[in-house]
Structures are given as structure tokens and as C-alpha cells.
Amino acid sequence: MEEKYLTNDLLSITGMTRDTLRHYEQKGLIQPEKDTYNNYRQFRFADIYRLLTIDFYRKRGFSINEVKNLQENFNELDFPQLMQQKKLEMEEKLQYYSSTLDRINKLAMFQQELAETLDCLTLERMPLYEVLGSFSEFDAFEEYHQILAHCSNEDILSSIVRSFAFDETGLNHSRMLIVKEVSDNCLQEGKEYLNASRCIRLIVTETLGEENSEEMAHQLFEKILNYSLEKNLEPLGEAFVFTKMVTYQDRNEQAVLEIFVPVK
């Protein structure tokens, strides 16, 4: 007589969880018998081998529905083409997770340095950004389709920068730019870039909905201008404000902003 196995036996053999096994049953991937006496599920060798086969394809990126399609229509499928399709899907996911890991590493490094850099004025190079487009104001949400069109793989806050124009009388006008950070060897003729090798850099925080934000902005730029006078630097009349991180203060979002002011 063929040996039969209970659910606990199967979990021990395959390493699957009870929820996973139940989900496979609900999807029709496996249909165990039930003991007529106690209604316990009973699994045979064929059931175990089927579960191992499911695991084989799941570990190769197949969804449950795709495994079910293999079970039911394998002879009608173009298997080489299917493998090529899965390969492309995995390459896209690999690229996505590689980019996500890069963002995590950059955020972790920025946060580690924040205690020493917050509210400190330094002289540094601004990273190179390609300008992909522009829109009028941060809250011009009807224009956000432009951001999504250019930066579908990046979050919105990291894809936009506020550009200020100023002179000795103070801040004049501003505009929002859609940008993408690029490496130095990616410069192409005919494209617009934010490219400043020498800048005053300042890290500040801004709480969403904070009162007197406009007055605070003028105070910040006055601080930057005073620093430029102390260091005998000549600002070029532009400033760029990037959102580098978002924290929370009393359950309200607090942006950590990185400001670059190009100088001679």
C-alpha cells in the first residue's frame, strides 16, 4: 500500500508553511485526499513531487497562476520563449532592486553625516544633474504628469529641485526643475545640466505647513550671502534646493533640504 503523509509531515519535508500549502490548495495547484474518518488531508508521493515542482518554478520567478498554466497547458506553450520572457522580467527586477539598494545606501550615508552637517556652511561641488523639464510651482499638481513622464522609476521628491534667482536685494523668482543625477562622462551637447564645481552648501530642515516659511527662506539666503562675504566668494545669483530626506516631527513631515549656491 502506498504510504500517505499528513500535513505536518509535508511541511517538514518541503519547508513550506501551512498558509502556503493552503493557498496552493485554494488555487487548485494541489488536491489532496481527505481521510473519511477524521477529514485530515492525506498526501501521496505524487502530491509531494508536485509541491517540489511548484517550488522549482517559483524559485525561477513564476507566479502561482503561471505555474498553474504550466500544469494545464505545458505542451501548447513555447517554452524557450517563456524562459526568455522570464529572463527579461528578472533583469528588470534586478535593475529595480539594484537602484533601490543604491538609494538606501545614499540615504543611510546622508543620515549618518546629518548630525555634523546640519546648519553648517561648507564649500563643495554640486552633483551633476541633467535637467529634463520644468514646471511652475511645487503645488502645481496638475503639472505633475510631466514628472511622471520623465522619472517613472524614481520618486517624485528626488526628481524635482527648486531653482531660485537672487541678487543683493534678496530672492527674486523661482521655478521647479525636473532632474536626474548623472555621471560626468554622460554630458551630451544640446542638453541642459546643473553643473557647478564650486558651491556653498547648506543642510536645513523645513516642517510642512510651518509658519513664516518665506521669512525663514530670506534669513537662510542672508546667512549664505554673509558667508560668501566672509570667504571672499562671489555668488552667481542662483540657488538650488533638493529634498534629501523626510523625517517626522510631532507626526508632521519634516523635509531635510540640501541647498547649493554656485560661486566664483
Give percent above pLDDT 90 in the chain: 75
Contacts of 226 (CB under 8 A, 6+ apart): none
What are the tens digits of pLDDT across the range 82-100? 999 999 999 999 999 999 9
Give the pLDDT band (50/70/90) at residue 60.
very high
CATH architecture designation of domain 7-77: Orthogonal Bundle (1.10)
Residue 211: its pLDDT value, please? 61
Three-state secondary-structure class, residue 60: coil
**Amino acid letter, 135:** F
Question: Cβ(146)–Cβ(131) under 8 Å?
Answer: no
pTM of the model: 0.78
Write the CA distances from 260 to 99, 114, 128, 163, integer angstroms: 25, 16, 12, 10
CATH class of the domain comprising 118-262: alpha beta
Residues 101-139 pLDDT 10s? 999 999 999 999 999 999 999 999 999 999 999 999 999
Going through the chain in order, the beta strands assigned E by DSSP cover: 33-34, 41-42, 121-124, 129-135, 160-167, 170-181, 193-194, 199-207, 238-249, 252-262
Average pLDDT, rounded, for the chain: 91
Domain positions in the chain are 7-77, 78-116, 118-262
Distance CA 119, CA 204 (A): 6
Q: Is the pLDDT of residue 212 over 70?
A: no
Q: What per-residue confidence (pLDDT) applies to 222?
A: 86
CB 161 within 8 A of CB 241: yes
